[in-house]
Structure 1
Amino acid sequence: MDNSHKTTLSQLYPPIAYDVNGERFLMQCEVDGNAFDRLQSSAETLLQALHPQDSGTMLADWERLCGLKIDLSKNYQDRVKRVIIQLNAMGGLSIPYFIQLAEQIGYQIQIKEFSALQNDLPALGDVAQFNEVSSDHFIFIWRVTVLNGDDNIVYFRAGQSFAGDHLVEFGDPIIEDFFRDLKPAHTYCYFAYQQG
């Protein structure tokens, strides 16, 4: 059974007033039917775009509306995660807010704030990456520890790694980019990854 609009249109006209088998009539029904078919397809695509995970080729529109850079080098699932994070990021500066934000995209994290007054400072190895930061500003440094970061740690392996590669590389650009975008502007945020 043909469900195209061409067939439907050709059956709408009364056969007494129109030659429903005529060549020109059928050509006109085909032209109009193709336009309605395209319109139907476009409407279905728009309906799917109501949710980022189902939006397909319209995901770039979600990214644009959320103020995200469209990065086609990332896979579809990562791009959807970034959009969902941005949509859920209504605002907040508390530790529970950031922990909840991470949980919504599948990360288990802990956040540590430091206090120079209590002599609670980052470890020396951590401080090394903040050479340009005055020790007075250590109170503005906080560490995000990703607890389920097993997949984000890559070790140097003989036969698989090359000269010049780091012995250990870790990081997750999805969570790191969003935390850097959403953190208070006067703070410094760094990441640690813990194997489960």
Structure 2
Amino acid sequence: MSIEHKQVLAGLYPPVAYDINGEQFLIQCEVDGKAFDRLQQKATEVLNAISPEESGSLLADWERVCGLVTDLSLSYSERVNRVIVQLNAVGGLSIPYFTQLAESIGYKIVIKEFSPLQHDLPDPGDIGQFYGEPEDRLIFMWRVSVINGENNIVYFRAGNSCAGEPLVGFGDPIIETFFRDLKPAHTYCYFAYPVS
């Protein structure tokens, strides 16, 4: 409910002591009323900031509290999703925990852990990204397949792309950043975007 404080202020002064219809009095009430109007507007914004979805210009404070860097190149809804993921990330190391975390922001994923003892190895080329002796450390490697990540695949197009760009680029910075931040520090997590 919007209140014009100018009229409220004018009604607070006793008419015996003040000329409530005087020009200077009304100008002063208008100036003070606008200050109170702005204060009321800011108070409403702070009240709405109790949830990230409705925080408006105060979303940057949510990001700061969650330890996120404000990235203005992202849309408002993407920034809200980043905050919600961080708030929901109370901790866990299990596959169901990470799967549920991804589902909470609209991603369908499948996590694959590798076992060299069962001759269960990653795809060729994926091992090259893992530093050290990969054969000895495969138990610390896991793959996240983003099932609904088709929108994040960008193909090289003649006329639209430039020399030096990859033929296929893919990735989703939102889910990848959170997984890399939340995964156990001694593990290597990489992402796959299967094409259906």
> TM-score, normalized by length of structure 2?
0.92
Contact 1:143-1:191 at 8 Å conserved across structures: yes
Contact kept in structure 1, 2:3 and 2:37, CA below 8 Å: no
Aligned to 1:15: 15
C-alpha separation between the residues in 2 aligned to 1:86 and 1:146? 19
Which residue is equivalent to 1:103?
103
Alignment of 1:113-124 (within 5 A): 113-124=113-124
Distance 2:92 2:98 in 1: 8
Q: Which runs of 5+ in 1 are unaligned?
A: none
Superposed displacement of residue 55, structure 1: 1.2
The TM-score with structure 1 as length reference comes to 0.92
The answer as to whether partners of 2:113 and 2:142 remain within 8 angstroms in 1 is yes
Determine the structure 1 residue equivalent to 2:93: 93
Shift of 1:124: 1.7
- Aligned equivalents of 2:80, 2:143: Cα separation in 1: 26
Quick one: which amino acid aligns to residue 32 of structure 2?
A: D
Structure 1 residue identity aligned to 2:191: F
2:38 & 2:82 partners in 1: Cα distance?
31
The count of corresponding residues between Structure 1 and Structure 2 is 195
CA distance in 1, matches of 2:79, 2:42: 23
Worse-superposed segment, 126-135 or 57-66: 126-135
- Residue pair 1:148, 1:195 contacting (<8 A) in 2 also: no
- Find the counterpart in structure 2 of residue 69 from structure 1: 69
Residue 83 (structure 1) aligns with: 83
Q: Tell me the equivalent position of 1:170.
A: 170
Identity of matched residues, %? 67
Between 120-129 and 95-104, the greater mean CA deviation after superposition: 120-129
SS of match in other structure, 2:191? strand
Residues 148-187 of structure 1 mapped to structure 2, 5 A cutoff: 148-187=148-187
Question: By how many angstroms is 1:3 displaced?
Answer: 4.3
User: Given the alignment of the two structures, is residue 44 of structure 1 paired with residue 37 of structure 2, yes or no?
Assistant: no
Deviation at residue 9 of structure 1 after TM alignment: 1.2
The answer as to whether partners of 1:49 and 1:58 remain within 8 angstroms in 2 is yes
Q: How far apart, in 1, do the equivalents of 2:44 and 2:152 lie?
A: 38
Helix, strand or coil: the match of 1:124? coil
Q: Deviations over 1:156-178 (max 9, x none)?
A: 22222222221111110110000
What's the secondary structure of 2:85's corresponding residue? helix
Using the alignment, how far apart are the partners of 1:111 and 1:177 within structure 2?
16
Task: Return 95-104 or 164-173, whichever deviates more.
Answer: 164-173
